[in-house]
Structures are given as C-alpha cells and as structure tokens.
Amino acid sequence: MRQLAEVATIVAAAGATADWLYHLKGEMCALRVIKEGVISVPVMIPADPDRDPELFREALKRLEAVVERMSQ
C-alpha cells in the first residue's frame, strides 16, 4: 500500500486525479492522470511493486514526467 500512496502523492501534488484502468494479466495496471479536463496517455504501473522495485521506480519516473508535461 505504501507504493500506492507514492502514486497518489505524485498525482495529488499536481492537482490532478488518477483513473486506474485495468490489470494486464495481473502483472501491470494502467493509470491515466486527469487534470483540468485533459487525460494523459496510460502509464503502466506494476501491480505488485515489491516484486520488482526497480520497475516500480521507473514507472514512478514515467508518471512524474507525464504529470510535469501536463502542468506546462
């Protein structure tokens, strides 16, 4: 759950909301960021971040990049 809190913090800090789309074979989830009516491309987040912490860190970096682009 701590990892989900990290995702929520990134999204909330940008003044946006998150829309979890689906699980892909139980391994990944797609997350869209919604800010001021604009919807981002899906960002893939590992369903179990503890299984591959490096993959989760990379997903957080992609999420931060998406949020930053939306803030410009």
Q: What is the mean pLDDT of each run of 10 residues along the chain (72 residues)?
A: 79 88 75 92 88 93 94 84
Q: What is the dihedral of CA 49, 50, 53, 56, to 10 degrees?
A: 0
Q: Model's pTM, two decimal places?
A: 0.82
Judge contact between 38 and 25, C-beta under 8 A. Answer: no
The answer to whether domain 2-71 has CATH 2.120.10 is no
Q: What is the dihedral of CA 72, 47, 55, 30, to 10 degrees?
A: -30
Q: Which pLDDT does position 35 carry in this prediction?
A: 92
Would you list the domain boundaries of the chain?
Answer: 2-71
